[in-house]
Amino acid sequence: MKVDANFDGGNIIVVDVKNPDNIRLKIRKDSQSDDHCQWFYFRLTGGKSTPCQFSIVNADQATYPEAWPTCTLVTSHDRQNWTRLSTQFKDRQLQFSLTPATDVVYVALFAPYSYERHQDLIAWSLSQRQCELFASYETPDNHQIEILKIAGAAQAPKSVWIIARQHPAETMAEWFMEGLLEALLGEERHLHQSVLATCNFYLVANMNPDGSVAGNLRTNGMGIDLNRAWLNPDKQQAPESHFVLQHMANTGVDLFLDIHGDEDVPFAFIQGCEGIPSYNDALQARERQFKAELAKASGDFCVDDGYPACEPNEAPLNIAGFQIGARFNCLSLTLEMPFTDNKYRSDAVSGWSPQRSKLLGKHILAPIKYGFFSHPPVGLILHLIGFGPIELFFADVGAFLAITARK
């Protein structure tokens, strides 16, 4: 038998694989960093029908060891379909058993999202009529960061920025973005034309491709946690944040969403920007409305649980969600999803999954549409005067009636 991680996003160090009853492995620390390790993703070859017992021997040294007691992993034979695998945290090691049904099986902390799939997502998005490449940046490790712009009306007054996967192991964030892009550009795009009449979307599906390909937990190729580098991003050490912030300054920001995953918290929730200097009652009301509308759209979203709110004027402004809210005086939110499952809607077979992440990405349009819809509807006016497409007319009529009925 052989264990390896010699592929995109892989991470494992083999200690001993001679005895299938005692396969001992270690998680490699993030490249250029001594501070972080938790993500692992490896392949077992030649173990078909053989009961195997695995131990991650340095699990107690992980960045978030408190997550291990409730952790379940994912396994796959084809890297398309992932099922849950139980674990136990015992003797400071993460232990799990597996009897592969085929000669090759993959094991990961969560369903991976490869750089190859990322490139497919970008190519598909740019082939759609309403999507354009707003800007791109080549990272130090020669990967691309793309800012996609999706627009409906030429003079849409609002700028919505959504970024994902600052922390490369949080692959559910890019699954979320795939769901969002499919909703805006795919077969159901006509349902969302009304929001494009008032909003230009600027989307970054993967903020950290260098760390993603390297199999890192939190850092980029320079060893920097990007979500601690937004106060004054260094062009050499955190070029990804520097690049995106420059373009935000050019467009302005009316709504910012930063998409993440949390290794320990077992539900999906939003962290607001409480604690920034400009936080006030009006911003708090918009934040609460956004959460309430998302909860109506998605049974997987939790309104009442989450991180503790920051005290007034004590928000850490090096974190994206707080910095963007303070800098642009806008609604700025950080959405977190679980690695394992949603305790309020548990699924023993798949737990939290790519499919649930994608669906939440689709549902995020509901509070955006509600919060930014203008009266009277732009699409309806444009059509009546001969400039708007018929699908935008029907989408706006339906959205306008639905929203008016709820107010």
Distance between the two ends of the chain, CA-based, in angstroms?
Answer: 63
* 306 close to 336: Cβ distance less than 8 angstroms: yes
Residue 146 is among the residues annotated as catalytic for this protein: no
The CA-based diameter of the chain, rounded to the nearest angstrom, is: 75
Structure tokens given for 174:
């890019």
Structure tokens given for 397:
């009529």
219: β partners:
225
Identify the CA nearest to 372 among candidates 396, 405, 394, 336.
Answer: 396
* 52 close to 44: Cβ distance less than 8 angstroms: yes
Q: Which of 174, 274, 287, 336 does the annotation list as catalytic?
A: 336
Q: Please report where in the chains the tokens 């396969």 appear, as a residue.
A: 23
Structure tokens given for 353:
């999954």
The Cα 131–Cα 203 span in angstroms is 10
User: Which residues are known catalytic residues?
Assistant: 336
